[in-house]
Structure 1
Amino acid sequence: MKNEPKVNLLDVLKEVVEDKSVDDSVILDALKKALISAARKYLHIEKKINVDIDMETNEVHVFLNVEVVDDYPDYDPNMTAEEVAEMDEGYMLVDEARDFNEDAQAGDSLYMELPTSSFGRQAIQTAKQLLTQHIRSAECQRIMDIYRSRIGTIINGTVLRLEQRNVIVDLGNKIEAELPAREQIPHERLTQGASVKAVIARVEESTKSGAQVILSRSNADFLKALLRQEVPEIYEGTVEIKAVARDSKNRRAKIAVYSRDEKIDPVGACVGMKGARVQTIVRELGNERIDIVHWDENFDVFVQRSLAPASVLKMFPVPDTDRIVIIVDDENLAQAIGKGGQNVELAGRLVDRKLDVHGEQEWSQMDEEAKNNILAPNYEDERRMRAKRMDEDRKAKAAAVKKDVNA
């Protein structure tokens, strides 16, 4: 073996795990694996190594533990290559064993302690790298276990730093989350040290940190979570959120709510006394305008309410599509469509249909051929339906994965 400066191996490895939020049992297991790796690097052999660690006294004992044989024993043909290699680690040929004990004979058990202080820099570096990988993997799994089951729930944190337009949020317990620019409320400026409330949008695998918690303040789930937090009837389940459509870029949203108790007005419950409840949510969302719609099991009524206060005169569902042609009073046409089509777009998302709105006068002046063309399925309808089916399949698969994770 080469003569190299002696190093306290356990002290070096403990530097890697210092201040890590990982269970002691995980750290101990990772330390043992790292020491086994260092011992094999030191001995230049892949043999069975036993490790004893006393975390209180900082005592470490590493042993070579093999049975001396004339030849390796036969193995079961059904064993995998990995299983055969693991079995062979427990045996050492006589000639090789005599490098450690010149009196070694076949049938002996070679059990000898290895001097960890002499492992050398290369072996220690290998052990550190292995330990770092194990700890990172453990931390990644811990984050996955904690936060994947909390997707869609609100969490409070502190702005730790800004990375270009992305915000890094401290969630506590040495866990950092990312609030990407696209998940922030437009024109909102979050500063270092500020408290921030957001919803857990997803947990992604990251090459940098192993696992990354992604937050959102702009998606529909954040609005849902705020409603659950501010409206006791929703939290208790008396009032149910049936649908949410949100366009945070233009600061508009529509929500559909329903009461299981006929005595409770679901819209009034969300608005609160003198608008107190909804105004709390509006302020949190940077003065986003929120329309609260009373959901109805009669779909036609639900569609009409989604466009209120516009007066719907006629509705024509287009066969084999998700499109509905709607005729409204001319006085309400601009209001029904909204600036840049925003209102009809949000109403369509709320009821999960494509709403094609026309004024009463415009419709009455069309000839039958023009009306039939509008009421006939077209390429856009087919393209949208295909995309919708693909999205439904994707959501079903994601729900199945989430169910497996929570099981």
Structure 2
Amino acid sequence: MAVSANRLELLQIVDAVAREKSIDRAIVLASMEDAMQKAARSRYGQETEVRAEINPRTGEIRFSRLLLVVDQLENDATQITLADAQKKNPSAQIGDWIAESLPPFDYGRIPAQASKQVLVQKIREAERDKQYDVYKDRIGDIINGAVKRVEYGNVVVDLGGSGAGEAVVRRDELIPREMFRPGDRIRAYVYDVRREARGPQIFLSRTHPQFTARLFAQEVPEIYDGIVEVKSVARDPGSRAKIAVTSNDSSIDPVGACVGMRGSRVQAVVNELQGEKIDIIPWSPDAATFIVNALQPAEVMKVVLDEDSTRIEVVVPDDQLSLAIGRRGQNVRLASQLTGWDIDILTEAEESERRQKEFAERTSAFMEALDVDETVAQLLASEGFRSVEEIAYVEPREFAMIEGFDA
């Protein structure tokens, strides 16, 4: 491979590589220059600072070596004195670099082989960078691919396209009891893309809650257009999911839009998720209403919110308790994930029993602390006083307004 090789041929090679690998022509040219620099160093000495330049229009190759301008010459392969430098460039100063042209040369077999390795490596790195740049912007999207192989339960997916490479669905990111064989088509959610030494690693998931949300966006035009919004999703992969939706247009029912004609839209998502049952819940800005909706299909009698600790007590009829909790606590767990609140479920009987117990405890506490009879203590407890401190801060005229009290 002599440097005097057909210049036009060199540019044709550059264009062909750029096309085949879908990389920028300038990156291929730069890679070739790097490869030639490596070969030139083996010809002119490894410590020589050689630069190769390929003219992108004509294909002409020029070699030059860079020399550092110094006061005292120590190495004539990399340095030049100020006096000699000023002969080449009158404005040269100490610390500048001076470029000196080198004659062209014939590559030997070993330098040619070494430069080829550099070229291959540089182009592979450019491919990886391109792949990373493409997929880092696709985090949060659903992508389709073909199963390439299955290793220890992890599914390796061929993403197709030029130089698109592979992605992996780890075993714990697959829906339980789901089986894939090489050649099967697969849809999954891109949740992470990492730059690693062996190339970008693309991680896919079929259990991620947002996978359900993105599937609905593909099936429901109103979500895609932003009229209906998915507020939150909670999933028990392969078993059951809850999805909270709201509409930005009062004339459109968000739940109806997601269900579709005869349930066609929701059924398409259910089929993709291996029969996972999906509850579509109307979102509400009012926490209590939202939590009551989230516990569907159970009926709720009343709720008691504790906003400081984001806990809520929900009272349900005795016959609705098992429905509200769900099999293995699934219904209440998903409702809690969906709403972000800790939910305690009580039956009416349990709540009534607890209220009576609290009432009796407060009554006896007031009798002891205030030295009053049981009737007065019960009046105070039924008015909602919980402690002696609360009573201390109440004005006497407010006490007078309580039925059964006088001035």
Q: Is the shorter-chain TM-score for this pair beyond 0.5, marking a shared fold?
A: yes
What one-letter code is carried by the residue in structure 2 that aligns with 1:180? R
2:51 to 49, 52, 57: 49
What one-letter code is carried by the residue in structure 2 that aligns with 1:112? L
Of 223-232 and 107-116, deviating more is 107-116
1:72 to 70, 75, 80: 70
Q: What's the CA shift string for 1:270-326, capped at 9, x where partnerless? A: 111111110011001100010000111222111100001212223223353122222
Equivalent residue number for residue 28 of structure 1:
29
Report the number of matched residues: 338
**Does structure 1 conserve the Cα–Cα contact (< 8 Å) formed by 2:71 and 2:81?**
no
Q: Distance in 2 between matches of 1:370 and 1:111?
A: 101
Equivalent residue number for residue 309 of structure 2:
321
**Cα distance change of structure 1 residues 135 and 89 upon mapping to structure 2, 3 Å threshold:** farther
2:192 to 202, 214, 220: 202
3-state secondary structure, aligned to 1:207:
coil
**Does structure 2 conserve the Cα–Cα contact (< 8 Å) formed by 1:324 and 1:356?**
yes
3-state secondary structure, aligned to 1:150:
coil
What one-letter code is carried by the residue in structure 1 that aligns with 2:228? V
What one-letter code is carried by the residue in structure 2 that aligns with 1:186? P
Equivalent residue number for residue 103 of structure 2:
113
2:260 to 266, 272, 276: 272
1:357-396 equivalence runs, <5 A: 357-366=345-354, 367-368=357-358
- How many angstroms does 1:138 deviate by? 2.3
Which structure 2 residue ranges, 5 or more long, are not aligned?
A: 89-98, 363-407
Q: What's the CA shift string for 1:194-213, capped at 9, x where partnerless? A: 2222222121122322x122
What one-letter code is carried by the residue in structure 2 that aligns with 1:173? S
Equivalent residue number for residue 182 of structure 1:
172
**Does structure 2 conserve the Cα–Cα contact (< 8 Å) formed by 1:255 and 1:350?**
yes
**Cα distance change of structure 1 residues 115 and 315 upon mapping to structure 2, 3 Å threshold:** same
3-state secondary structure, aligned to 1:206:
coil
**Does structure 1 conserve the Cα–Cα contact (< 8 Å) formed by 2:242 and 2:281?**
yes
3-state secondary structure, aligned to 1:117:
coil
**Cα distance change of structure 1 residues 51 and 24 upon mapping to structure 2, 3 Å threshold:** same
Q: Distance in 2 between matches of 1:90 and 1:52?
A: 22
Q: Distance in 2 between matches of 1:219 and 1:52?
A: 49
**Does structure 2 conserve the Cα–Cα contact (< 8 Å) formed by 1:322 and 1:354?**
yes
1:64-143 equivalence runs, <5 A: 64-66=64-66, 72=70, 91-92=79-80, 107=87, 110-118=100-108, 121=110, 123-124=111-112, 127-128=115-116, 130-143=118-131
**Does structure 2 conserve the Cα–Cα contact (< 8 Å) formed by 1:200 and 1:213?**
yes
* Pair member with larger Rg: 2
Q: Distance in 2 between matches of 1:237 and 1:231?
A: 10
1:305 to 290, 293, 296: 293
What one-letter code is carried by the residue in structure 2 that aligns with 1:280? A
Q: Distance in 2 between matches of 1:370 and 1:234?
A: 53
What one-letter code is carried by the residue in structure 1 that aligns with 2:206? R
Does 1:247 find its partner at 2:236? yes
Q: What's the CA shift string for 1:60-87, capped at 9, x where partnerless? A: 73523456x9x6259xxxxxxxxxxxxx
3-state secondary structure, aligned to 2:131:
helix
2:149 to 161, 171, 191: 161
Q: What's the CA shift string for 1:62-119, capped at 9, x where partnerless? A: 523456x9x6259xxxxxxxxxxxxx9985479xxxxxxxxx999468422242412x
1:234 to 209, 223, 234: 223
3-state secondary structure, aligned to 2:297:
coil
3-state secondary structure, aligned to 2:203:
strand
3-state secondary structure, aligned to 2:107:
helix
3-state secondary structure, aligned to 2:137:
helix
What one-letter code is carried by the residue in structure 1 that aligns with 2:272? E
What one-letter code is carried by the residue in structure 2 that aligns with 1:22? I
Q: Distance in 1 between matches of 2:249 and 2:2?
A: 76
Q: What's the CA shift string for 1:5-57, capped at 9, x where partnerless? A: 999998xx98998953322221111221222133223322232423326799x
Structure with the larger RCO, 1 or 2 (CA within 8 Å, 6+ apart): 1
Equivalent residue number for residue 338 of structure 1:
326
**Cα distance change of structure 1 residues 298 and 23 upon mapping to structure 2, 3 Å threshold:** same
**Does structure 2 conserve the Cα–Cα contact (< 8 Å) formed by 1:254 and 1:290?**
yes
Which structure 1 residue ranges, 5 or more long, are not aligned?
A: 75-87, 95-103, 373-407
**Does structure 1 conserve the Cα–Cα contact (< 8 Å) formed by 2:62 and 2:104?**
yes
Q: Distance in 1 between matches of 2:77 and 2:335?
A: 68
**Does structure 1 conserve the Cα–Cα contact (< 8 Å) formed by 2:65 and 2:102?**
yes
Q: Distance in 1 between matches of 2:251 and 2:103?
A: 78
After TM superposition, the score normalised by the length of structure 2 is 0.72
1:220 to 206, 209, 214: 209
**Cα distance change of structure 1 residues 282 and 124 upon mapping to structure 2, 3 Å threshold:** same
**Cα distance change of structure 1 residues 239 and 18 upon mapping to structure 2, 3 Å threshold:** closer
Percent of aligned pairs sharing the same letter: 38
- How many angstroms does 1:143 deviate by? 2.2
